[in-house]
Structure 1
């Protein structure tokens, strides 16, 4: 069974991972989708995206939920009908959901060389000084995940990764850091935890 693992982030927050080994037909047959979800699925042109989307539903079913328990608001943010908070991410061969009693946001990213080419667009390059190439890729991937996770929490039009979300200096080996969102004349602080999942980085952000 491709349920991969669960990570307990704190006493009320757990992340669940599905490693996708099934083909898209097997995944489709294994899940029950409501009409609006089916319409969204049928509009996806990428099979990889379809698999990630269906694997999220597999995780829900693994936990006793179904697609009928999941809805999205006008901004595209997911919600569970039992009132618990949920955040969703998928990347290549993994899908992930995080369920919590507290507001949070997650991101899952595969570590790839190309992130160093785009790093100047979203982070302060001083964060990557005096690191090996492998360490730079890992740290840049964490920083992207930090910004993506915070954006998922706030979900407001106009938020810019380089202009509004600032990560404080951190050591990748620590597995945690902090960040701030400077937006609409407010400063909001976040605590971050991150983990290695094979060659992926998983990030979870919480508002302070």
Structure 2
């Protein structure tokens, strides 16, 4: 297992993706876990879910450059946070990769393997006006950018009960392999704008944002 890609977003923000090639035991042995984490790990099913949980935490350790115990908890909204370190984090995973983003401000990251079937569920996360700006030649890639961008915004905002269709609105963009998408989160009194980065890495798409 090694860092496959790393990007410095700005002076205090970076993200990395890690290709998971080890067995679970090898990853587990690189971590120090408290009793609660050990109990949670034991409940995970053997397989990708197991490896993903381990992989994101090993990558987090590598990015923080420490072999010490990292107290990483999850809040009431499901957002991970570091108890004793002054950083915001976001975690993601998809098939063979784990992704971690770290900053002094709230962040969100999402990684997804690109598959044709996304077209069948596009209506579940896209507004009509967003579907209308898709380029037919790049439709699948654009749909994955849209999903990753909305997921990154959702994670950065860090609150439950946000609708991808009704609350996260994207401005038109052309797919270029990497770039930025303007996104707006509108929910009740909340009206926030984000410039969300995206990156195609082999057959994966990554969306990342700093709030």
TM-score, scaled to structure 1:
0.91
Query: Does the aligned pair in 1 maintain the 2:20–2:55 contact within 8 Å?
Result: yes
**2:175 is the alignment partner of 1:172:** yes
Instruction: Give SS of 1:45's match.
Output: coil
Q: Specify which of 131, 144, 158 is matched with residue 125 of structure 1.
A: 131
Instruction: Give SS of 1:16's match.
Output: strand
Aligned mates of 2:2, 2:201 — CA distance in 1:
14
State the 1:180 CA deviation: 0.4
1:70-128 C-alpha deviation (Å, 9 max, x unpaired): 22222221112211111111111000111112221111111111111101121131132
Aligned mates of 2:5, 2:131 — CA distance in 1:
34
Corresponding residue of 2:85: 82
Corresponding residue of 1:148: 151
Instruction: Give SS of 1:163's match.
Output: coil
Corresponding residue of 1:15: 15
Query: Does the aligned pair in 2 maintain the 1:52–1:95 contact within 8 Å?
Result: yes
TM-score, scaled to structure 2:
0.89
State the 1:67 CA deviation: 5.2
Q: Specify which of 91, 97, 102 is matched with residue 99 of structure 1.
A: 102
State the 1:62 CA deviation: 1.7
Can you give the 5+ residue segments of structure 2 that lack an aligned partner in the other structure? Answer: none
What is the Cα-based RMSD across aligned positions, in Å?
1.7
Query: Does the aligned pair in 1 maintain the 2:61–2:70 contact within 8 Å?
Result: no
Corresponding residue of 2:4: 4
Aligned mates of 2:152, 2:51 — CA distance in 1:
22
**2:194 is the alignment partner of 1:181:** no
State the 1:21 CA deviation: 0.7
Instruction: Give SS of 1:161's match.
Output: coil
Instruction: Give SS of 2:76's match.
Output: coil
